[in-house]
């Protein structure tokens, strides 16, 4: 397979699809054909879409920026085609922010204004191109120095329609992507196209909605980053007598769990051993699907605001305190004599600030943190936070990060900056209904929510009975304690008693 071409001349035909005009004429043509205002407008946060005149208006600011950063390349292109590079540039910048030090690969870099502008903006990446380094994707994949499953982002602008074996092309990209890595593509799109229909010289095909769906579905271990919006009844780009448009394809490789653990097969003693060694534990299916559904519905009705006192109007919130799978695990870890001392509801909405692209927030410990002045509930010598997740945790949907074994690193000082442990932090993924326990000394971090769905979670805190807090804490009201059956009331009594 050759990357996008049968030879150098074919490659030059691809990159020279342009109108040979000076830049001033290019700007005038762009305004006339697309009727675009160059006032910058924030692009819609949708990644699998059609790049039509609506997109040109949304990305007008980025198109203008590319013209400033890579003027010679942009001036060679058909003005209305520059929407592809604008989309690629913005999308790569967006996803690059989700990795601490992203490893990026460009497939087809010659005369690509997106690649040139990314480099000028300070992004480092490797590149593949027969003109630049005599490499196509097939040759690059076979090099002994090529490291598979290591790239965080692979991007390619208007290349795949020039590749004879495009399915092999896609599979080779997935082999290069690391867990959680993202592929960003643009392609020529023409709904109604059939194999054998005429195409532009140098191309092998146009793509259709069904074709793209089938090709992505055939990539094992990958999913589109959002639902595709590839309907285009009225294409608005024309070249060589063909009327078509451009589509984007952005998919993510599944993140491999950092911990190869069969959580659902652990015995009680194995749970305790894993928790003590790593400082956290996942309990799969602590809540049933029906319980998760009820919880989400009740949250909407009760108007939770986050504090312990706000959540007890919902029946399910009280039931979680005595969840049998949780109490069984806590019994193995702490023994049977434990206390429940606080709870909170946490809603993590989709991040609206376009400047916030990092997945992870700051690493920290929960010991002594987060309580108002004079409230020492987090000061017990040993306690555990239990997160009941009501929505899935994925790589972009506010996952939890932990530093395994940090619960046993007694040299750490509370309230310290723990970012020096960043390379040891591991992502913890979970399903709706799972519970995750983590010790108060475990260094961990929440995440920004870069998905389109609100994350719902409840956090319940327990400690062994002996671990008395450093100062007086409020006792549970007697009517609240007595609302539980007698076998559980010990969980709530004598919060100020202990060693």
Query: Which residue is associated with the tokens 């919060």?
Result: 495
Q: Report the Cα 167 to chain-centroid distance in Å.
A: 25
In the chain, what are the domains? Answer: 8-251 (3.40.50.150), 263-491 (2.60.120.620)
- 73 with 333: CB under 8 angstroms? no
Residue-level pLDDT, tens digit, the chain, 499 residues = 333 334 444 444 444 444 333 333 333 333 333 333 333 344 556 899 999 999 999 999 999 999 999 999 999 999 999 999 999 999 999 998 877 678 899 999 999 999 999 999 999 999 999 999 999 999 999 998 888 888 999 999 999 999 999 999 999 999 999 888 999 999 999 999 999 999 999 999 999 999 999 999 888 889 899 999 999 989 999 999 999 999 999 999 987 667 778 999 999 999 999 999 999 999 999 999 899 998 888 887 777 665 555 667 678 888 999 999 999 999 999 999 999 999 888 888 877 776 665 668 899 999 886 565 667 889 999 999 999 999 888 777 788 999 999 999 999 888 889 999 988 998 888 889 999 999 999 999 988 887 667 888 999 999 999 999 999 998 999 988 999 999 999 999 999 999 9
Written as six digits, the tokens of 104 are: 């990026």
CA 52/CA 32 separation, integer angstroms:
15
How large is the greatest C-alpha to C-alpha distance in the chain, in angstroms?
A: 84
Helix axes 209-217, 166-176, angle to 10 degrees: 40
Among the listed residues 224, 245, 214, 251, the one whose alpha carbon sits nearest the alpha carbon of residue 50: 245
Written as six digits, the tokens of 205 are: 């095909």
3-state DSSP call for residue 6? coil
CA 184/CA 91 separation, integer angstroms:
7
**Which residues lie closer than 8 Å to 397 by C-beta, 6 or more apart?**
391, 449, 450, 451, 453, 455
Among the listed residues 127, 109, 207, the one whose alpha carbon sits nearest the alpha carbon of residue 167: 207
CA 121/CA 493 separation, integer angstroms:
59
**Which residues lie closer than 8 Å to 283 by C-beta, 6 or more apart?**
263, 271, 325, 326, 329, 434, 435, 436, 437
CA 477/CA 481 separation, integer angstroms:
6
């Amino acid at each position: 397979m050759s990357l996008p071409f049968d030879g150098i001349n074919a490659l030059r035909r691809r990159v020279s699809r342009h109108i040979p005009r000076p830049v001033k004429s290019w700007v005038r043509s762009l305004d006339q054909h697309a009727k675009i205002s160059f006032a910058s407008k924030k692009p819609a946060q949708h990644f699998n879409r059609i790049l039509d005149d609506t997109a040109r208006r949304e990305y007008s600011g980025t198109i203008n920026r590319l013209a400033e950063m890579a003027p010679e390349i942009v001036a060679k292109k058909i003005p209305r085609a520059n929407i592809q590079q604008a989309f690629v540039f913005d999308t790569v910048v967006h996803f690059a922010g989700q990795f601490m030090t992203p490893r990026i690969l460009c497939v087809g870099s010659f005369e690509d204004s997106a690649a040139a502008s990314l480099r000028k903006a300070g992004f480092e990446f490797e590149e593949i191109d027969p003109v630049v380094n005599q490499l196509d994707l097939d040759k690059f994949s076979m090099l002994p120095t090529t490291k598979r499953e290591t790239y965080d982002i692979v991007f390619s602008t208007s290349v795949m329609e020039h590749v004879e074996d495009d399915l092999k092309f896609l599979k080779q990209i997935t082999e290069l992507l690391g867990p959680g890595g993202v592929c960003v593509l643009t392609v020529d799109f023409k709904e109604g196209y059939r194999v054998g229909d005429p195409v532009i010289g140098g191309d092998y095909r146009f793509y259709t909605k069904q074709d793209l769906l089938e090709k992505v579905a055939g990539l094992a271990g990958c999913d589109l980053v959002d639902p595709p919006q590839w309907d285009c009844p009225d294409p608005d780009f024309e070249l060589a007598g063909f009327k078509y448009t451009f589509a984007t394809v952005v998919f993510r490789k599944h993140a491999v769990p950092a911990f190869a653990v069969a959580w659902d097969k652990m015995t009680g003693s194995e749970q305790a051993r894993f928790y003590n060694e790593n400082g956290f534990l996942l309990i799969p299916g602590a809540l049933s699907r029906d319980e998760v559904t009820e919880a989400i519905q009740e949250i909407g009705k009760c108007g939770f605001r986050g504090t312990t006192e706000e959540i007890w109007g919902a029946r399910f919130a009280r039931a979680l305190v005595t969840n049998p799978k949780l109490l069984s695990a806590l019994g193995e870890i702490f023994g049977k004599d434990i206390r429940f001392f606080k709870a909170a509801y946490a809603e993590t909405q989709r991040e609206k600030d376009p400047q916030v692209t990092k997945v992870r927030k700051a690493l920290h410990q929960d010991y002594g943190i987060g309580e108002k002045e004079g409230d020492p509930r987090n000061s017990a010598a040993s306690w555990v936070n239990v997160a009941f997740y009501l929505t899935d945790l994925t790589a972009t949907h506010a996952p939890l990060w932990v530093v395994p074994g940090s619960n046993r690193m007694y040299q750490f000082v509370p309230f310290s900056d723990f970012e020096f442990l960043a390379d040891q932090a591991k992502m913890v993924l979970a399903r709706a209904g799972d519970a995750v326990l983590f010790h108060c000394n475990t260094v961990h971090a929440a995440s920004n929510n870069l998905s389109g769905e609100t994350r719902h979670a409840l956090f319940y805190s327990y400690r062994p009975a002996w671990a008395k807090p450093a100062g007086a804490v409020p006792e549970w009201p007697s009517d609240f304690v007595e609302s539980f059956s007698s076998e559980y009331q010990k969980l709530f009594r004598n919060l100020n008693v202990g060693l």
